[in-house]
Amino acid sequence: MDQYLAGLTTEEINPDTLMIDECTTEEMLRLMNQQDSKVPAAVAAEIPLITKAVDILHHVLKNGGKMFYIGAGTSGRIGVLDASECPPTFGIDPLRVQGHIAGGDSALRVAVEGFEDNAEEGVALIERCGVTDKDAVIGISSSGSAKFVIASLEKARSIGAATIGLVNNKNSKLEDVCDVCIAPVVGPEVIMGSTRLKAGTAQKLVLNMLTTCTMVKIGKTYNNLMVDLKASNIKLYDRSVRIIKTAANVDSETAISYLESASMNCKLAIMMIKTGLDAEDAKDGLDQCEGNLKAAIRKFSHVS
């Protein structure tokens, strides 16, 4: 028996759910809900470390670097999910925020858990991705023992990249290869070792924090509006119009007109309305302010 694995909080038996197989449906659901309610507090306890991680990621993206999520199994799928949602939400190049899972994209649909033990493939992934000292690699592993993830972080660190860990156990093996290691401890799972439950939920919450707060810091929002979204479908087009109406205090007709004049660029449309600049000059103004709409409006609002 592996003593490291046997000592993990995520591998313990939960005394509160011992008789779950004798519960009614409602009793089972209430047990799960009670256990899930412990997750936010575990994440809150890690906010000082999450703060450090966000500041690292802000520095990386602001200076042209990339961030890479690396994980296996559930952890890998959650990382890929978070990364894949950044381009439509924040309008960032998909190459700037990447998610990778042990076993490749096919592992997103069909479990290939053995790949988490392949350290050589972890190293090879970092090499294939072209990670440099300008980048950050975030390794995700509930146990903190996945060799694929540990080897990826070791390789990234040797290149000079920033390394961040996300685990669900304290004093994990992953911690030694991280500049910052975030470890929300959520306790034993409802079903022993099923880390797609509380551990996975905690990971999702932390990754939401990492990307959302980083994107806000690099100017991807205006107040709490996602002004850099891509109007790639009916829902997002409608949202773009509503955002322009709210941010610029105009009616629907005006918002639609400016959105079309701005080639469907929601942020640019708002900049044009608020400053009176044409599309080309408004874009130049945004570029001068590194895409920060609020800063650009303050700087150029007198020009009309």
Give the model confidence (pLDDT) of 167-184 as tens digits: 999 999 999 999 999 999
Boundary-marking domain end, from 163, 188, 217: 217
Q: Does 196 lie in the same domain as 105?
A: yes
Q: Does 252 lie in the same domain as 192?
A: no
Q: Name the active-site residue from 11, 46, 116, 189.
A: 116
**Of 195, 207, 2, 203, nearest to 84 (Cα)?**
207
Residue 28 contacts residue 60 (beta carbons within 8 Å): no
Which of helix, strand or coil describes residue 227?
coil
Q: What is the CATH number of the domain that holds 172?
A: 3.40.50.10490
Q: Does 46 lie in the same domain as 71?
A: yes
pLDDT of residue 2: 72
Q: Does 253 lie in the same domain as 209?
A: no
pLDDT of residue 83: 97
Residue 225 lies in a domain: no
Angle at CA 302, nearest 5°, toward 299 and 304? 120
Q: Summarize the confidence of residues 203-211 as an average pLDDT.
A: 98
Into how many domains does the chain fold?
Answer: 2
Instruction: Kindly report which listed range (14-23, 58-67, 146-155, 294-303) carries the lowest average pLDDT score.
Output: 294-303
pLDDT in tens, 253-267: 999 999 999 999 999
Q: Does 251 lie in the same domain as 118?
A: no
Residue 77 contacts residue 69 (beta carbons within 8 Å): no
Q: Does 161 lie in the same domain as 55?
A: yes
Percent of the chain with pLDDT over 90: 88
Boundary-marking domain end, from 173, 191, 217: 217
Identity of the amino acid at 252? S
Boundary-marking domain end, from 186, 217, 248: 217
pLDDT of residue 304: 44
Tokens of 150: 């540990």
**Of 1, 159, 154, 195, nearest to 66 (Cα)?**
159
Residue 40 lies in a domain: yes
Percent of the chain with pLDDT over 70: 98
Q: Name the active-site residue from 11, 12, 26, 85.
A: 85
Task: Determine the Cα–Cα distance for residues 124 and 136; give it in Å rounded to an integer.
Answer: 16
Residue 229 lies in a domain: no
Q: Does 151 lie in the same domain as 69?
A: yes
Backbone angles phi, psi at 163, to 5 degrees: -125, 130
Task: Determine the Cα–Cα distance for residues 31 and 134; give it in Å rounded to an integer.
Answer: 45
pLDDT of residue 224: 96
Q: Does 241 lie in the same domain as 209?
A: no
Q: Summarize the confidence of residues 209-229 as an average pLDDT.
A: 96
Task: Determine the Cα–Cα distance for residues 166 and 210; give it in Å rounded to an integer.
Answer: 11
Residue 222 lies in a domain: no
Q: Does 213 lie in the same domain as 249?
A: no
Q: Summarize the confidence of residues 189-205 as an average pLDDT.
A: 96
Task: Determine the Cα–Cα distance for residues 192 and 194; give it in Å rounded to an integer.
Answer: 6
pLDDT in tens, 271-282: 999 999 999 999
85: annotated active-site residue: yes
**Terminus-to-terminus CA distance in the chain, angstroms?**
73
Q: In sequence order, what are the residues at sequence separation of 6 or more whose Cβ sits closer than 8 angstroms to the Cβ of residue 85?
A: none
* Burial (CB count within 10 angstroms: exposed 0-12, middle 13-18, buried 19+), residue 100: buried
* Burial (CB count within 10 angstroms: exposed 0-12, middle 13-18, buried 19+), residue 82: buried
**Mean confidence (pLDDT) of the chain:** 94
Residue 44 lies in a domain: yes
Q: Is the pLDDT of residue 75 over 80?
A: yes
Residue 228 lies in a domain: no
Residue 5 contacts residue 147 (beta carbons within 8 Å): no
Task: Determine the Cα–Cα distance for residues 148 and 248; give it in Å rounded to an integer.
Answer: 48
Which of helix, strand or coil describes residue 167?
coil
Q: Does 244 lie in the same domain as 201?
A: no
Task: Determine the Cα–Cα distance for residues 31 and 23; give it in Å rounded to an integer.
Answer: 9
Find the domain containing 277 and state its range: 234-300
Q: In sequence order, what are the residues at sequence separation of 6 or more whose Cβ sits closer than 8 angstroms to the Cβ of residue 139?
A: 70, 71, 149, 150, 152, 153, 163, 164, 165, 166, 174, 177, 178
